[in-house]
Amino acid sequence: QQQVKQSPQSLIVQKGGISIINCAYENTAFDYFPWYQQFPGKGPALLIAIRPDVSEKKEGRFTISFNKSAKQFSLHIMDSQPGDSATYFCAASWDFNKFYFGSGTKLNVKP
């Protein structure tokens, strides 16, 4: 059973556009929701994270929107750039010993 469902699997966005990646979860015990960015051949790197006590967190061009009642959270990349082309993973954790990852979204930002 997949604990975190991520969509879309792939995404093509024009430079300057907004990239939106969505994740949904079932376990209401989850209390930490990070997003990771992975470039080919590299390990994932933490991008931004949120806890369920806030509905939005913004860091530069990256924003997490969190809907606790719907058990959904999303990543918005504003003014998308070709350098943002990577695979993005959402994740969720509730005991900080185990993290459950989404299946990933491959983002391609066209110049």
Cβ distance to other proteins smaller for residue 32 or 65: 32
Torsion angle, alpha carbons of 29, 52, 59, 110, to 10: 60
Sign of CA dihedral 3, 97, 35, 71: positive
CB under 8 A: which stretch of 16-24, 30-38, 61-69, 70-78 binds other proteins? 30-38
Binding region for other proteins (CB under 8 A) out of 52-60, 61-69, 70-78, 103-111: 103-111
CA-closest candidate to residue 55, choices 80, 29, 77, 76: 76
**Contact flag: residue 106 with other proteins (CB under 8 A):** yes
The site for other proteins (CB under 8 A) is made up of 6, 32, 34, 36, 41-46, 49, 51, 89, 91, 93, 96-104, 106
